[in-house]
Structures are given as structure tokens and as C-alpha cells.
Amino acid sequence: MVSIFLGKIMDINKQLTDYDRIQLTRKAYDELELGEQVKVGKFHIGTVVKSVYAEDGMRAFVIANSNEITILFKGSYGFVRGNPQTWRDEWLRTNLPILLALLIRERKIPSQLKTAADFLNKTIHQFPHAHVYIYGHSLGSINAQYALANCRHPERIITVYLYEGTNIWLLLNQKQRSRVAKIRSKIFNYVDIYDPVTLGITATHHMVGKLQYVDSVPLNNPIKQHIWGGYQFDKNGNLKLRKIDEAFLTESQNEHKLLTKSNDLANLVERMGQKNEFKKLAEEKFHTLRNKFPDHKGWGKLSGLFDNTSFMKDKDDE
């Protein structure tokens, strides 16, 4: 399907519904192959022209058509399936160091984020006339946030859609914050407060992009919650959102306290070595911390990151 807008062909990405965009973002988990034709619903997005699997684990795809490029930053593979390599690249080298940096408020940037920034700049340079659209979920959102904060040609970016990623604002320096602030209106950052990964949520401008507060349904399964399981759509594929309410503000305040009262937890994360050892230490420490601080909801959300029955589990453990 092709739409005409003011005498010009409208970009395919602009024609997608909210539901379509989530289905497109999911494609990053499908291990797309070079030359593969990517379709979402009735729309032909384009051809996979670039597939990157960096040494540090950063994974991304570029889909191109005659007028636009769509960049998909892949999230953490361990949520659906994983192996010792994805555990090392995505959790020990990237996700947990990000958590540690947030907890102790030090700007220690994992390699994968820097690789994502380099990838984005090179890709924009490689396609000098294309409109740029960016999607990222979970770790993909985190990589996209940092890449945007270091983008040398932000004027080339049309729209960005980010889902369920930790807010990395605290990791950015003033120059990086200023850069993303200038394109804030182009970045839609979707947050489900029941998702255990969306740490650092805020109703202020202290985040990459504009907050899109999802009118989600709480689920008992943290993995399903994280991979859009609580999202609701109307019959036209529009995602149901809600205005900032007391539930959001309470969760945001709990997380703020969590990030400002957690040196003890930071020391724990820093001690991590082997996965099983870290899980055992985490369980003991979280039990102590829950009794020490009244913010049970905040601690419970963070502890979901280390739950033996959730996404810390590797395929080899099954």
C-alpha cells in the first residue's frame, strides 16, 4: 500500500499503526538475513541491506527502500532464548554494568553502547539521502538512546520508537543530554510501569525522548510483561496510553529512592562473577534490603532482573 501526501509518496514508516511498529521492532529478534524482504501487515518495509553482530554483542539491522532506512536495534536475546555467549555479551558486559553505573551514579559506558553510536553515525553517512527511522526494545532501546546522544547528524532522523528500556539519562554528559534534548519531539519512549526492566522512569524531561505512558495490564509473567504482553490496542491498531497518574508518580519516586539509596546494592553488583554465584548473593542481599527500606515495590521491580525463573535463565539451564 502506498499513500500520497502533498504530492509526494509518504514514507512507509509514517503509515504504520502502533501495532505495526511493535511488530516491526520484534523483527530484530528474528535474525534477519541480508537481502531478506521485510513486511509488516500489508506494508513492505524494504530489504535488509545491513546486518551487524559486533564482537561486544551489539546487534542491529538496516532495512532500506527507495526513500528511507529503518534501523532495528536488537534487544536482549536471553529474554526469549539464550546461551552462555549472549549471557556474557548482553548481561555481564552490558545490562548489569549499566545498572551498576546507575546505582553508583558513575558514567561507565559499556562497549556495546559505544558500538551502537558508531554504527548509527556510519549508517547515516552511508545513506546520505534517506529518511532515518529507528526502533529499539529493551537493550535495543538502551543502545538506541546512547547512539542518539552521540549522533552527528540528528537532522537526518525522522522518528524514533523506543520500548521498555532502562532510562540512561544519568549516564549522559551535558553535551549528550543537550543533543538528545534538541530532537526530543522525534523520540517516542514507551514505558509499562509493570515491566521489571524500565528502571529510572520519570515524568520529567530527564529521559531520552518523550514519555509514552502505556495503559498496560499487569501480568504474572515478567518476561511476557517485558515483551509487550500488557499492551492494549484499539480496533485500528492504536496503542492505548494514559495520562500521568498517582501510580506512575509513586513508581517513579520509588525508583528515584532506589537509585539514591543503593550503594549497598551497587557493591553487590560489583562483586558479581559467575552467574550462579551472583544469583545467590542477589537473593540474600535483596532479602536484607527489602527489610531495610520501605520501598517494597521498587525493590521488587529491581529484583525481577535477577529472578531465577525469569530472564536470567539461559537456554542451557532448561
CA atoms of 154 and 184, how far apart (whole Å) = 11
What are the start-end ranges of the H helices in the chain? Answer: 12-15, 18-26, 84-86, 96-104, 111-126, 139-149, 174-182, 222-224, 246-260, 263-270, 275-292, 296-303
How many other C-beta atoms can be found within 10 angstroms of the C-beta atom of residue 157?
Answer: 19
Choose between 112 and 46: higher pLDDT: 46
Segment 146-156, tens digit of pLDDT: 999 999 999 99
Amino acid, res. 69: I
Segment 119-144, tens digit of pLDDT: 999 999 999 999 999 999 988 999 99
291 and 312 Cβ atoms separated by less than 8 Å: no
The values of phi and psi at residue 280, to 5°, are -65, -45
pLDDT for residue 139: 87
CA atoms of 224 and 205, how far apart (whole Å) = 28
pLDDT tier at 228, thresholds 50, 70, 90: very high
pLDDT for residue 207: 92
CA atoms of 290 and 168, how far apart (whole Å) = 24
Structural domains of the chain sorted by starting position, each given as residue range(s) with its CATH number in brackets: 4-317 (3.40.50)
pLDDT for residue 121: 98
Q: What is the mean pLDDT of the chain?
A: 79
pLDDT tier at 245, thresholds 50, 70, 90: confident
pLDDT at 293 over 50: yes
Mean pLDDT of 49-73: 95
The answer to pTM > 0.85 is no
Residue with cell 554465584: 277
pLDDT tier at 102, thresholds 50, 70, 90: low
pLDDT at 238 over 70: yes
pLDDT tier at 274, thresholds 50, 70, 90: very low
Least confident window among 28-37, 41-50, 69-78, 171-180: 69-78
